[in-house]
Structure 1
């Protein structure tokens, strides 16, 4: 779990250090602009923007019942962030599995991607799709 917060924590600490340096060099206005930028980057790269993750087995069980896709992701992945942001509110209707928190999820992704932990991997009706287009994923929700 801690691994998911390393990048956001480093971004926050870096932002504080850079802003403090700018502030003490006599540029408080620039420091006031830089710190929120670093904080925004930390927020986007944190697990906070994603719906609550569940285990791979639970996600597969729920998907079998309701037919919704399962998305395997990991914090800090720019492709996962892009997919999440482009899905908007419909992202909450999907089953999200953080492969850094769930070893079974990581194993499922490796099995689907020739041993690589390539995310996002979207599983629809038992078939994996690596880094699909957000419009395609949204279409899978309407089926």
Structure 2
């Protein structure tokens, strides 16, 4: 199940599909409350479609990105902090990031736990986590999102 829900399109597709089904059911029953709820369900999922525009890259290539001075971001679909980060980054900035989905790659999840254990003293899978050549940090606040944007601007000339 995690393998299926690990795809960026899974959550928006499920909720939009359910919203359309409820809208059809509400229309057949002539129930305005169900129709309005279904439309709201679809509208609330539209921002999550931004996650489907993330170019996932394999964890095996992450070290090459780091060696080239790029940025690797560990993330997972459905994470509210990840969605906020995706909304804040421009399309060009999202393309410069080497996105690694920890739900699709167990070795990436293990590496993420190792990064956090080295820094925090205990393993955990807090995402989104930006991994740079000499440091890593969880990107969960406005300050850390701004820090990541600055880093991406500095490395605009290279392929991340």
Q: TM-score, normalised by structure 1?
A: 0.80
In the TM superposition, residue 130 of structure 1 has moved relative to its aligned partner by 0.9
- Deviation per residue, 1:69-89 (Å, 9 max, x gap): 110011111111110110112
Is residue 4–residue 75 contact of structure 1 (8 Å, CA) maintained in 2?
yes
Is residue 73–residue 120 contact of structure 1 (8 Å, CA) maintained in 2?
yes
Matched position secondary structure for 2:6: helix
Matched position secondary structure for 1:2: helix
What does residue 108 of structure 1 align with?
A: 111
Is residue 16–residue 41 contact of structure 2 (8 Å, CA) maintained in 1?
no
Gaps of 5+ in 1: none
Is residue 70–residue 123 contact of structure 1 (8 Å, CA) maintained in 2?
yes
Is residue 71–residue 130 contact of structure 2 (8 Å, CA) maintained in 1?
yes
Please give the residue correspondences for 1:1-20 in structure 2 after superposition, counting only pairs within 5 Å. Answer: 1-5=3-7, 6-20=10-24
- Deviation per residue, 1:79-121 (Å, 9 max, x gap): 1111011011211111111111112211121112332211101
Tell me which of 125, 129, 151 is aligned to 1:140: 151
What does residue 77 of structure 1 align with?
A: 79
Tell me which of 98, 120, 128 is aligned to 1:120: 128
Distance of 2:44 and 2:96 partners within structure 1: 25
In the TM superposition, residue 33 of structure 1 has moved relative to its aligned partner by 8.1
Following TM superposition, where does structure 1 have runs of at least 4 consecutive aligned residues deviating by more than 6 angstroms? Answer: none
**Gap change, CA 1:45 and 1:78, over 3 Å in 2:** farther
Aligned length: 141
Please give the residue correspondences for 1:36-51 in structure 2 after superposition, counting only pairs within 5 Å. Answer: 37-38=41-42, 41=45, 44=48, 47-50=51-54
CA RMSD of aligned residues (A): 2.8
In the TM superposition, residue 136 of structure 1 has moved relative to its aligned partner by 0.8
What does residue 21 of structure 1 align with?
A: 25
Range 17-26 or range 117-126, more displaced: 17-26
1:93 maps onto 2:96 in alignment: yes
